[in-house]
Structure 1
Amino acid sequence: GCTTASDHHYLYPNDVQLEDEIRAAQEMGIRFHAARGSMSLGESDGGLPPDSLVEREPQIMRDTQRLIETWHDPAPQSMLRIVVAPCSPFSVTVDMMREAAALARASGVQLHTHLAENDKDIAYSQERFGQTPGQYAEAVGWLGDDVWHAHCVKLNAEEARLFGRSGTGVCHCPSSNMRLASGIAPIRQMLDNSVNVGLGVDGSASNDSGHLLAEARQALLLARALGDPAALSAREALRMATRGGAAVLGRDDIGQIRPGKSADVIAFRLDSLAMAGAQSDPVAALVFCSPPAVDLSIINGALVVEDGRLLTADLPVLIETHNRRSTALIRGER
């Protein structure tokens, strides 16, 4: 049922380009924020990624500029925007982070990266920069209402206040955080400090589900796992999945059904077995019950899903192709 998505793509083997994702999003009819990720600091230079996966920084900047000039649409109700998105502080240089911020602001586009995901991130930041991740982000110009960071599991109280004051957004990925044993993000603390928080499903290597409503359920339950049943309500979780995500992406034209907003509407059936007995509060039921498949999806006024059927692609063919290629990948075949 997702109507708007952003994907942080930072691996470019075999001549893959960000345009491959852009064209797929256009074919599907989904609103898309394409994040041009990058890695330039390999293991031999003290970074995280293998040297074989890094790119040269001048090449990264040229390609990012090209993508912005070619594809970015800043207009209201835009279906495509480009995001400047170095992978993480431990996979690019300090200069790259600063240059990326300068490029994004000169071009009027957003910034995105991974930040404070786990204890190793904190240790790396302290050892290499002598700063916490939040302090580092501030030092390199990565705070503001045009910035959002993924995860922020280890954000401390002062950093949460800093993010709130600066309008910096956070993409909360609870399923990924649990699967990778990263920890529990302090979402209540962030919300109490007016941090814009949206929800993400992370990549397929970190989460075997791309169901955003399921992620809202995980966010709700994980927040309460620390012992406070009032840590997060169903409506707060649903808000993160809708208006929160819109705010994180810098959009005031999506995320809610109101006059003047984009015509993005999804609907779920409430007469299913999963929803039986939950009719008194259908909003809470959407979050607490087994996450349903969307029955209707309208994106920017166009019908994309009807009666639970995707109209913009041949789903059985896509699934067969996906299974075949994933099997070949696991076997090491080309």
Structure 2
Amino acid sequence: MTVDLLIRNAYIYVDRDWEIADGWIAIEGGRIHAIGSHAEEPPPSVKTISAHGQLITPGLINAHHHMYQNLTRAYAPVTNGTLFEWLTGLYPLWAELNEDSVYLSTFIAMVELLMGGCTTSMDHMYVHPKPFLIDAQFKAAQEIGFRFHATRGSMTRSVKDGGLPPVSVVQDEETILEDSERLVAKFHDASAGSMGRVALAPCSLFSVSERIMTESARMSEKHELRLHTHLAEDPDEDTYCAEIYGCTPTEYFERVGWANHRSWVAHYIYPSKDEIDRLAHAGVCTAQCPCSNMMIGGGSADAMDMRRRGMKVGLGCDGSASTDHASMWLETRMALLLGRYRNGPHGMTARDALDMATRGGAACLGWEDEIGHLRPGACADLVVWKMSEIALAGALSDPIEAWLRCAPAIAGTTIVNGRILVEEGVPLIANLGDILKEHSQHARRIQKLLP
């Protein structure tokens, strides 16, 4: 049999317990067809890439993001604010989002993710000043060929209800629930090898009504959808839940029916140990966002302690206006550094961080069978990493540790569903220059910088 693509002469990280020092990987029909060592004869192929001893990993999986925020990166008035100051300063700008700006920001975000080794990403789109914004995101994903797990975010509480956002970006309950059903019917594809899925994602416990939380849980069970929200991200959330609901954020999360195997949460910085144990036992996963947590200075979860307690932990870039980048390689490196800084030199290894960025992210999205690893039959989503000879000089004993310790690394080749989307570090997007130009115009409009 002749396969579509063969990559050879590489160090292949297949999965958490399978590495091949000098091997090849064969791709056919968007799937991993076979893997072997240099001692085994590979199948003939239509196209062959020699990786020259480079590292191949599964594509990294972004488990928490806000793509529209790349329109307001490094926005000077709020760069040094607290989380709530940052949100209050930016919500009025995000009220200017429309279909075109969301399409452009999503397109740029996905290309940037590909260049940082990410092949599957969710997006938490919870600001809806205009309708059909998630439709625009799917348009971008389909044009690029990116594997996309959209989340239908929502907010019901504006400043007039004691919330943070302006009235123009929140919606009433019926609009949210009806549009959620519409998006699931139009875009959610639960079939094997799917390129697009939908999850339900009320923004946070303090930004939506209790009805939205409970109805989202019911809809999740009805359609077998994932559930996502921010949880226990800031101490102010504890105060809010105590005053409004008479309990902690985790207790409220459990009360509204979210403590189950379909849920994953972002950040989860301030729970008690007992609450971590309860959610882990219930099958809830979490996404850590190291760079965003450190940039805002609001604390970060102890990812390795959560993993020891049985909770599956993925990684996320978070919003491009808090982290100001969308590189999953950088998030993975920062997760390693943060874990070691927190718990000492034995606290975390590069393989732990890589496992979070692959298997952990796949667990968050409920997609562990097909992505996050390179076992035969898996989706052909992978990265051939590129590093300079100078950066790697002397790094001879462990290519996985060197990948995160010897910086920087970029995706030399990124493959999604068997298609090469980045080659020699360059995205294969014909109209990228035009997209960047239009993106700049919308960013200037939103930031009130147009003449």
1:238 maps onto 2:354 in alignment: yes
Shift of 1:187: 1.1
Q: Secondary structure in 1 aligned to 2:386?
A: coil
Deviation by residue 1:142-167 (Cα, 9 ceiling, x = unmatched)? 11221110111112211111121011
Aligned-partner Cα distance in 2 for 1:197–1:313: 36
Matched positions, count: 334
| Aligned counterparts of 1:60 and 1:273: Cα–Cα separation in 2 | 52
Give, in angstroms, the shift of residue 75 of structure 1.
0.7
Change (3 A) 1:120 1:265: same
Distance 1:300 1:279 in 2: 32
How far off its partner does 1:180 sit?
A: 1.2
Q: 2:295 aligns with which of 153, 167, 179?
A: 179
One-letter amino acid of the structure 1 residue matched with residue 420 of structure 2: L
- Contact 2:153 2:201 (8 Å CA) reproduced: yes
Find the partner of 1:321 among 431, 438, 442.
438
Is 1:261 matched with 2:360? no
Whether contact under 8 Å (2:128, 2:171) holds in the other structure is no
TM-score by structure 2 length? 0.71
8 Å Cα contact 1:199-1:241 kept in structure 2: yes
1:222 aligns with 2:334: no
SS in 1 for 2:227: strand
> Is 1:71 the equivalent of 2:187?
yes
The alpha-carbon deviation at position 17 of structure 1 amounts to 1.6
Q: Which has the larger radius of gyration?
A: 2
Partner of 2:207: 91
Moved more, 119-128 or 247-256: 119-128
Q: CA RMSD in A?
A: 1.6
Structure with the larger strand share: 2
**Superposed displacement of residue 49, structure 1:** 2.3
Name 1:331's counterpart in structure 2.
448
- Greater shift, 178-187 or 90-99, is seen at 178-187
Task: Report if the CA contact (8 A) 2:267-2:300 is conserved.
Answer: no
1:122 equivalent to 2:244? Answer no
- Which residue does the alignment assign to 1:103? 219
Structural mapping, 1:22-171, within 5 Å: 22-171=138-287
The residue number in structure 1 matching 2:86 is none
The TM-score with structure 1 as length reference comes to 0.95
> Contact 1:27–1:312 (CA<8 Å) still a contact in 2?
no
Q: Do the aligned partners of residues 291 and 122 (structure 1) sit closer, same or farther apart at CA in structure 2, a change above 3 Å counting?
A: farther
SS at match of 2:198: strand
Do 1:48 and 1:90's aligned partners in 2 also have CA atoms closer than 8 Å?
Answer: no
Number of the residue aligned with 2:308: 192
| Amino acid corresponding to residue 326 of structure 1 in structure 2 | A
Give the 3-state SS of the residue equivalent to 1:294 in structure 2: strand
Question: Aligned pair 1:275/2:392, yes or no?
Answer: yes
* 1:19, distance to aligned residue in structure 2 (A): 0.6
Percent identity of the aligned residues? Answer: 42
Conserved 8 A contact 1:155-1:186: no
1:47, 1:92 within 8 Å by CA — same for their partners in 2? no
For residues 348 and 234 of structure 2, the distance between their equivalents in structure 1, rounded to whole angstroms, comes to 22
Structure 2 residue runs of 5 or longer lacking an equivalent are 1-116
d(CA) in 2 for partners of 1:271 and 1:227? 30
Matched, 1:247 2:367: no
CA offsets per residue over residues 170-228 of structure 1, 9 Å max, x none? 01101111111110212122111111111000011211110001001111111222252
Q: Residue 147 of structure 1 contacts residue 168 of structure 1 at CA under 8 Å; is this kept in 2?
A: yes
Deviation at 1:59, TM superposition (A): 0.6
* Alpha-carbon separation, structure 2, partners of 1:279 and 1:294: 20
Picking from 281, 286, 291, the partner of 2:403 is: 286
Query: What amino acid is aligned across from residue 394 of structure 2 in structure 1?
Result: G
- Mapped to 1, the partners of 2:393 and 2:152 lie a distance apart of 43
320 and 157 in structure 1: CA distance in 2 versus 1, 3 angstrom threshold: same
1:201 aligned partner: 317
For structure 1, list consecutive stretches of 5 or more residues without a partner in the other structure. Answer: none
Q: Work out whether residues 270 and 279 of structure 1, in 8 Å CA contact, stay in contact via their aligned partners in 2.
A: no
Give a deviation string over 1:253-292, Cα, whole Å, max 9, x none: 1100001111111111244433333232111122222232
Worse-matched range after superposition: 48-57 or 247-256: 48-57
